[in-house]
Amino acid sequence: MHMEVRINKYLSEAGVCSRREADRLIEAGKVMIDGKLAITGSKVTDAQVVKVNGITVTKEEELILLAFNKPVGVVCTTTDKQGKNNIVDYIGFEKRIYPVGRLDKESQGLILMTNDGEMMNKILKSVNGHEKEYVVEVNKPITEEFIDKMSNGIYLEELDRKTDKCFVKKEDKFSFRIILTQGLNRQIRRMSQSLGYQVTRLERIRIMNINLANLTLGQYRNVTEEEYKKLCSML
């Protein structure tokens, strides 16, 4: 028995791209099933031949999950080929992988890379507020008031949203640690800015149970079996 799945799910499970990206490829007429053009919502089984841009899709059995210490200037996109500063090209991994979520171009630190679209969807869609921890440097001395306002939530005009309460702790005169469970666009920069501070350095040091630890800037490592099991139990 071959299970039927929707073509976008099939492509995301095969590590070709995200479901959303798959839908775009299908709409653009780049996906064929057994020699016929796929349409959005087409169902497919493992017994069928699926081609994307003329290349046959083979399901990658082995799960790849990497922790990568992203340098400033590297872009977390898989669509625009922005030369060598595209995260996928920068890493140059021998198999197809893509970033789970984003980290701004001018931010650095931990980002997960995987070939498992389903895992990626789960992490991104999870509403149980998975923690992401950052260490942030700003251009002015940090006050009690700053910490208080940051942790109690700030209304961000451009996004018309109030940020959730979160853990914020002063590290030293110019830096603080913050743990977020929501990921609004450029959230920490916007929050700081609304209080009159400019972020000068932003580093993500943890995603859920996975820590940056002593991973050198620009390097990656495999997520360990133990970390992976714990991660799955949290999802």
- Report the candidate in 122, 131, 125 with the shortest Cα–Cα distance to residue 181: 131
Residue carrying structure tokens 């992976």: 228
Helix/strand number for the chain, H first, E second: 7, 17
Pairing of strands 108-114, 199-207: parallel
One-letter identity of residue 189: R
Q: Give the CA distances from residue 225 to residues 44, 49, 116, 137, 193, in Å, rounded to whole numbers and listed in that order.
A: 31, 32, 15, 33, 40
Distance CA 170, CA 186 (A): 20
Contact 68, 91 (CB under 8 A): yes
Q: What is the DSSP letter of 164?
A: P
* Interior/surface letters 177-188, b for 16+ CB within 10 angstroms, e for the rest: ebebeeeeebbb
- List 34, 104, 116, 160, catalytic entry: 104
The residues with which 77 forms a beta bridge, in sequence order, are: none
80 catalytic, yes or no? no
Q: Which sequence positions are flagged as catalytic?
A: 104
